[in-house]
Amino acid sequence: MTATIKDVAEHAGLSVSTVSRFLNNHPYISEDKKARIHAAMKALDYEPSTAAQQMRGVKSHRIGILVSRITNPFFANLVDALEVTARKNGYSVLIVQNHDSVGEEANCLDLLKKKIIDGLILCSVESDKAVLEKYQQHGPILLCNTSVDGAELPVVRVDDEEATFNAIGYLLEQGYQKIAYCTGGDFLQKGHGERRNRGFQKAMTAVGRTIDNALIFRRLHTYKDGIRLAEQLAARLPSARPDVVFTGSDDVACGLVTWLTNHDIRVPQDIAVVGFDNLPVSEMVSVPITTVNQPVDKLGQFSVEYLIALIAGKPYRYNSDDLKAELVLRKSA
């Protein structure tokens, strides 16, 4: 038979109201009474009703995290950094994937409204600012390495527009003429990858280069996408191939480099390759990949610490210099 709060009170020799105050984190309970209640709960295998506590406004000490897909190595590393910091601060995490489709964000917002989670970190965004700002009345919502135009939401992110601008600028300085650009989205002004798109366009415009649409590759995310891209490039005449490919992802870059080198297309002599994220695997392929380093550990740490401060109603500041993205030069470009 399941123990009740009354059973705990009787076992501890205390009133039900005292046990109730303890379960609701009331500050004025003696250490002796706390010890007796703990002992009674353990002896009776008593677990307080989470739902009931949430109805009374007791914090769940749980935060939600929405990512596009955890199989993406960057998001896997980011979620790990988020979870490590959460655990250090006494919080557990609830991870939800949306696989770049609509619907899961609404479910996460509903969890916030129902007090199942105390706060929400969005690493992927579906809704417009009006929807997200409305749900802030139920708890804090923080954007991690993403953005919503015009929204009054706390944000922690790497400036990947600047990082892309600098990386493309480096390639132009090295004399590359035909630069292919990959994006996870559709290369539109708004939507997936828009900040990196702007960085690429600005870098090309700054030196008077026109953008060749035949060298723009869309909706690339995975190692297999990199292989398919390599096959497309190999099918072209050598004169129609790019000098260098900015892949926008180490995962894509690894697939690209592996296929090219296995099919006698030399990297970087025939086609150079640049990745993004500086994942450990970028150093392990046959030609180590030049890539943009994102400080994912700091990104995860600052995001969770900021959200917890918001939950507690406290101010929080971090050093934006710790989130600078830098080009890491290796053999692929």
Which of 328, 320, 321, 194 shows the shortest CA–CA distance to 274? 328
7 Cβ neighbours under 8 A, 6+ residues apart: 44, 46
- Verify that 233 and 170 share a domain, yes or no: yes
- Verify that 30 and 68 share a domain, yes or no: no
Looking at residue 271, which CATH number applies to its domain? 3.40.50.2300
143 Cβ neighbours under 8 A, 6+ residues apart: 121, 122, 125, 151, 153, 154, 155, 156, 157
37 Cβ neighbours under 8 A, 6+ residues apart: 8, 12, 14, 18, 19, 22
Whether residue 49 is contained in a domain is answered as yes
pTM: 0.79
Alpha carbon distance 40, 17 (integer Å): 15
**β strands within 183-270, DSSP E:** 216-217, 244-246
Helix H or strand E encompassing 162: helix 160-173
Q: Is 241 helix (H, G, I), strand (E, B) or coil?
A: coil
- Verify that 189 and 282 share a domain, yes or no: yes
pLDDT (0 to 100) of residue 326: 95
- Verify that 164 and 152 share a domain, yes or no: no
Which of 231, 229, 226, 242 shows the shortest CA–CA distance to 289? 226
Whether the CB-CB separation of 272 and 244 falls below 8 Å is answered with: yes
Alpha carbon distance 220, 142 (integer Å): 26
- Verify that 172 and 241 share a domain, yes or no: yes
- Verify that 154 and 73 share a domain, yes or no: yes
Whether the CB-CB separation of 121 and 157 falls below 8 Å is answered with: no
- Verify that 37 and 67 share a domain, yes or no: no
Please give the residue range of the domain that contains residue 11.
Answer: 5-56
- Verify that 154 and 164 share a domain, yes or no: no
Whether residue 199 is contained in a domain is answered as yes
Whether residue 333 is contained in a domain is answered as no
- Verify that 82 and 17 share a domain, yes or no: no
Which of 142, 183, 128, 137 shows the shortest CA–CA distance to 160? 183
pLDDT (0 to 100) of residue 48: 73
Domain count, the chain: 3
Whether residue 331 is contained in a domain is answered as no
pLDDT (0 to 100) of residue 22: 85
CB atoms within 10 A of CB 6: 10
Alpha carbon distance 48, 16 (integer Å): 13
Whether residue 139 is contained in a domain is answered as yes
Whether residue 183 is contained in a domain is answered as yes
Positions in the chain short of pLDDT 70: 1, 49-58, 100-101
What is the sign of the dihedral through the CA atoms of 325, 259, 183 and 143?
Answer: negative
Show which of 22, 38, 56 is a domain's final residue. 56
Tokens of 74: 């960057």
- Verify that 284 and 179 share a domain, yes or no: yes
- Main-chain dihedrals φ then ψ at residue 326, nearest 5 degrees: -130, 150
Whether the CB-CB separation of 187 and 250 falls below 8 Å is answered with: no
- Verify that 125 and 206 share a domain, yes or no: no
pLDDT (0 to 100) of residue 53: 53
Whether residue 332 is contained in a domain is answered as no
- Sequence-separated contacts (24+) of 169-176 with Cβ below 8 Å: 169/203, 169/206, 170/327, 171/244, 171/246, 171/272, 171/274, 171/333, 172/203, 172/204, 172/207, 172/209, 174/333, 176/243, 176/244, 176/272
Q: Beta strand 291-293 with 326-328: parallel, antiparallel or unpaired?
A: antiparallel
